[in-house]
Chains A and B, each alone.
Chain A
Amino acid sequence: MATQHSRSAARIMISPAVVLLLAWMIVPLALTIYFSLLRYNLLMPGTERFVGLLNYKLFFNNPAFFTALINTLLLVGGVLIITVVGGILLAILLDQPIWGQGIVRILVIAPFFVMPTVSALVWKNMFMNPVSGLFAEFSKAVGLAPFDFLSQAPLASIIGIVSWQWLPFATLILLTAIQSLDSEQMEAAEMDGASALSRFWYITLPHLSRAITVVILIQTIFLLSVFAEILVTTNGGPGNASTNLTYLVYARSLLNFDVGGGSAGGVVAIILANIVAIFLMRMIGKNLDA
């Protein structure tokens, strides 16, 4: 029933946001695409020249590219699984009648407020360090050899750190969703003799599906560009074991100062991110329209 008048008003109201975001997307993107076709090293000004698709060829031929692609998917997927599963369990736990629920909730959401750099430094130095970290002290106390997290399982360790940061976010959204669950339905099911597991499976989980898709969408956006955690803990290594696409682009453009190569990597990363985005949007769109 929207009138012509309100339609045009709506268009006017939406336009600042659209125009700004369009500019924010197009201007750097255009420059990035332009740079990606040049041989352009920041440290050698005056030697810029057009090289066509050479930078892309080099980027794809780099054996690190494939590893980084896989690592990116593992990182995003791993953190999503941990935070969604962990978040559901934690949300159910926090939904139970307990003493001091408010305080427990505060404790659980705290990691979300910590800067990524800080949390990476803390985990690396005070927990995962194989000589003086707390985990090493703990293994020594129970008579085990300390595990060298960041050399032996670099990617898994980073997944752990990032999951710690995002678990609170998932928990909060899922908890809000659980609390909106109709308790009468639950009780009716209980009266009918449905086991706790089947109540969870047939009532709670379907109810949470929207919340889960939201968690997945928002987190994916942030997880695709995880960077500070890798820079601080492993520098992408050993070898390329924990290099993701963002880190690979960083290494090219800000360690090598190879703007051409870095831009080519940036364009590739943008394209891949958009493929993931389209895939996600399909999924979310379906789930959110309902």
Chain B
Amino acid sequence: MTKTTRILMGATALCGMAAIAQAETLTIATVNNGDMIRMQELSSDFTEKHPDIELDWVTLEENVLRQRVTTDIATKGGQYDVMTIGTYEVPIWAKQNWLVPLDDLPEEYDAGDILPAIAGGLSVDGTLYAAPFYGESSMVMYRTDLMEEAGLEMPDAPTWDFIKEAAAAMTDKENEVYGICLRGKAGWGENMALLTAMSNSYGARWFDENWQPQFDSEAWKATLTDYLDLLNNYGPPGAANNGFNENLALFQQGKCGMWIDATVAASFVTGDDSTVADKVGFALAPDNGLGKRGNWLWAWSLGIPAGTDAEDAAKTFVAWATSKEYAELVAEKEGWANVPPGTRTSLYENQEYLDAAPFAQMTLDSINAADPNNPTVDPVPYTGVQFVAIPEFQGIATAVGQQFSAALAGQKSAEEALQAAQELTSQEMQAAGYGQ
């Protein structure tokens, strides 16, 4: 045995030992929504296939998670190897080179299968920066029995005028049935998601081409006035503190006639916990005949922070969690209706899925009806349907959302709220150096 071979053998042995000793650990930050919890439960399938990778989960409530991962990635804290982020974060983070591009996913992953609207929202200059785990738009969910009692019929693509008429007809406050439930809780992802999407269908926009705020426009005034009228006259008490969850609880208890919210709610309102599961119908989000509907587009996605020490393992995991095989795994264990929706074309061509999920077609149509690159009637300098993809948006929209929820609580008139929104947005945008 020559000296060289001995050294080589020794080195190989060392490498081998190192590989065994360092079973890689991935720290995965995720939201505590139902689909992610399921992923966590099913992850033993992944660890069986990849015994050299260990998974550590950090499951947090959405707002806490967002704050945690943003702080960590912006300060390069390096605590996470996989992060669950949305369509708002991806383009902003990708531009800062904070995310590992996902342009080398394996052939069998079939990235071309991802719904174009979703892929568009997660790509910058044609490169995918996060893999969609599930996608959602918003739509109208309504009670078929109450609609019938009211002597009305919900069209597949209703107008806001019809929604007003139906809300009035369905409301029966004596019996705690409220014609319409909408988000009222302040927050850029709460009431402002709904209002921004709604305003698109009224022909309003956040900014003109020169980044001047547009809350002083007639279109915004019409949006807010209609929103307030709907909720004040036909909405549940306490609407100003209702977010997704509160409205879901109301709908499940049979207290809402209509509810315009995320498409993922469809599986909850028709699920086991719902008292009205067999009386729910679906329709596209309303419009005003201006060419844009009031529905949004969102995808919870898995991104890999640049600088992670386990990039390859992280990619392997991301590819597993967003693959077609994962969908089949869920279908096998929990049934097709529970497969994460809204990410892949192939899922909507799968007859088994279409049969199991009555809301599938409406979800797909809603997602396809949203166009983040061209969200409004008039041209705008930004992308994003229910958000504006600039870093300042979260803060500004949350402050604006507070003004609007104050209007809903009756502390301000619509005009006062819009004026305050206009002022604070101008101030923030100026401070941030836009439109100069």
Contacts and interface: CB of A to CB of B under 8 A. Distances in A.
Please determine whether chains A and B interact with each other in the same assembly: yes
Interface of A: 41-45, 54, 58, 61-64, 129-132, 145-146, 148, 150-152, 234-241, 251-252, 254-258
Interface pairs A-B: 3 shortest CB-CB: A256-B395, A239-B406, A43-B391
A239 B403 contact: yes
B316 interface: no
Given A43-B391, A238-B402, 6 more contacts: A41-B391, A41-B392, A151-B408, A238-B409, A241-B406, A255-B67
A234 B394 contact: no
B279 to A, nearest CB: 19
What bracket does the count of chain B residues touching chain A fall in?
A: 35 or more
A264 to B, nearest CB: 12
Q: Which of A63, A146, A240 has the most CB of B within 10 A?
A: A240
B184 to A, nearest CB: 8
Contacts of A240: 402, 406
Nearest to A243: B402
Interface stretch (B118-126, B144-152, B235-243, B268-276): B235-243
B44 interface: no
A64 B427 CA distance: 13
Interface of B: 67, 70-71, 74-75, 92, 96, 176, 185-187, 236-241, 246, 249-250, 253, 255, 391-392, 394-396, 398-399, 402-403, 405-406, 408-409, 411-412, 420, 424, 427, 431-432
A91 to B, nearest CB: 35
A152 B187 CA distance: 18
Given A42-B75, A43-B92, A238-B409, A257 B238 contact: no
B237 A241 contact: no
A54 B432 CA distance: 12
Contact of B253 (A64, A132, A236, A256): A132
Contacts of B246: 129
Chain B at the A interface: SS class: helix
18 contacts: A43-B96, A44-B96, A45-B74, A54-B431, A58-B427, A151-B239, A151-B241, A151-B409, A152-B409, A236-B186, A236-B402, A237-B185, A237-B186, A238-B402, A238-B409, A240-B406, A254-B67, A256-B394
A241 B403 CA distance: 10
A234 B249 contact: no
Contact of B186 (A58, A145, A235): A235
Contacts of A148: 237-238, 241
Given A45-B96, A150-B238, A238 B395 contact: no
B233 to A, nearest CB: 16
Given A129-B238, A131-B176, A131-B238, A42 B70 contact: yes
A252 B250 CA distance: 32
Contacts of B427: 58, 61
B250 A131 contact: yes
B409 A257 contact: no
A239 B74 contact: no
* Residue in B75, B412, B432 whose Cβ sees the most chain A Cβ within 10 Å: B432
- B239, B241, B396 — which one has the most chain A CB atoms within 10 A of its CB? B241
A30 B92 CA distance: 30
Contacts of A129: 238, 246
Contact of B236 (A131, A152, A241, A257): A131
Contacts of B402: 235-240
B405 A239 contact: yes
A81 B35 CA distance: 46
Contacts of A234: 241
A33 to B, nearest CB: 19
Q: Which of A42, A45, A129, A256 lies at the interface centre, i.e. has the most chain B CB atoms within 10 A of its CB?
A: A256
A239 B411 contact: yes
Given A238-B186, A238-B411, A255-B395, A151 B74 contact: no
Nearest to B431: A58
Contacts of A131: 176, 236-238, 250, 253, 255
A129 B236 CA distance: 11
Contacts of A255: 67, 394-395, 398
A237 B404 CA distance: 10
